[in-house]
Amino acid sequence: MKCQACNSDTKKFGKDRKGHQRYRCLSCKKTFVEAYEKPLGEMRLPFQKALSIIKLLVEGCSIRSAERITGVEKRTILSLLLLVGERCENLMTERIHGLQVENVQCDELWGYVGMKEKTKTRKGETSNRIGDAWCFTAIERRTKLILAWHLGRRSADHTIDFTEKLRHATKGSFQVNADGFSAYQDAISYSLGAQHVDFAVIIKQYAHNPESETRYSPSECTGCMKVAVYGHPDLKAASTSHIERQNLTVRMGMRRMTRLTNAFSKKWKNLKAAYALHFAYYNFCRVHQSLRVTPAMEAGITDHIWTLTELVC
């Protein structure tokens, strides 16, 4: 080793508290530590403890539960979530690009940040980072791969942002199935082209709840109408069942998305990071029960089940 200051010879000079070799210059007497990888950047959190925290988060634990189990302060856990979430979002963009697909299902999952929209209106809040937060999601029916997702408002502009991400992830002609949200028709035509996509809408009809039922009881589905919007979609294959089952996976795997609890997100960026971590873990690390492999393996993106270390680094 050469001195980083004067380029003179050095000798070993013990180790630091993390076990890394230290050196001392024979000329200027300065000490330094040999270069080593920093998988968490400037965070001082031990890497194995960080992996334990991430494992807890993807298995549905809350921030405070992870704090109690690991002994790591919640602000450190949130900083780790933001760091890993950004990496997972970039990973999804790089790896899921230009895939040949056949049948794609789209849906929106409701959540909120800070407070619900009704409370936001009552309090006169105007921030776009508070209130209802809708996560648009697209899944490939055969491989169960999450192709694209977007966190935003349930509006035409955010729907286009979502379909642009879907365009980045796919190529060629395929069938798209969605619910009756009207913004999909123009957004899919704008991003994917009505000439290249067969688009079908599934509209479910629900009965009114009986008076004896509580306000949180689900309504009974009395019928389902399938409509070919443009192209030549196969109405027999038109469905949103897989993406709705994925919504359940999200609510079971993300503590902040569990209904009727106080574990909701307090900041928009934290919710976005949690979604990024969940979808990346689902695609690359979690073995799908019916596929017996991960969705990424089924889609041919990778040839093995990723570890959390591969996902984070």
pLDDT of residue 1: 78
pLDDT of residue 20: 80
Collapsing DSSP to helix, strand or coil, 223 comes out as strand
**In this structure, are 21 and 144 located in the same domain?**
no
**In this structure, are 93 and 3 located in the same domain?**
no
H-only helix segments in 102-240: 117-123, 156-169, 183-192
Task: Count CA atoms closer than 13 A to 119's CA, side-chain side.
Answer: 8
Residue 29: CB atoms within 10 A of its CB come to 10
**In this structure, are 103 and 175 located in the same domain?**
yes
Query: Would the CA dihedral through 278, 62, 66, 128 be positive or negative?
Result: positive
**In this structure, are 32 and 52 located in the same domain?**
no
Only one residue has tokens 């509580």, namely 214
Q: Rounded CA gap, 120 and 124, in Å?
A: 6
Q: Number of folded domains in the chain? A: 2
pLDDT of residue 215: 64
Residue ranges for the chain with pLDDT beneath 70: 209-218
- 212 assigned to some structural domain: no
List beta partners, residue 146. Answer: 139
Q: Rounded CA gap, 259 and 280, in Å?
A: 22
Cite the beta strand spans of 154-212 per DSSP E: 170-171, 174-178, 197-206
pLDDT of residue 211: 56
pLDDT of residue 212: 54
Residues 166-211: pLDDT tens digits? 999 999 999 999 999 999 999 999 999 987 899 999 998 877 765 5
- 296 assigned to some structural domain: yes
Of the chain, the end-to-end C-alpha distance in Å amounts to: 27
Q: What is the mean pLDDT of the chain?
A: 92
Q: Is 73 left (phi over 0), alpha (psi -120 to 50) or beta?
A: beta
**In this structure, are 91 and 31 located in the same domain?**
no
pLDDT of residue 98: 95
pLDDT of residue 3: 85
Only one residue has tokens 């050196």, namely 23
**In this structure, are 29 and 102 located in the same domain?**
no
Q: Say which CATH number the domain at 169 has.
A: 3.30.420.10
**In this structure, are 223 and 125 located in the same domain?**
yes
List beta partners, residue 31. Answer: 24
pLDDT of residue 216: 64
Q: Rounded CA gap, 99 and 299, in Å?
A: 8
Domain that holds residue 4: 1-36
Tokens of 84: 């890993």
User: CA-based angle 7:10:15, to the nearest 5?
Assistant: 125
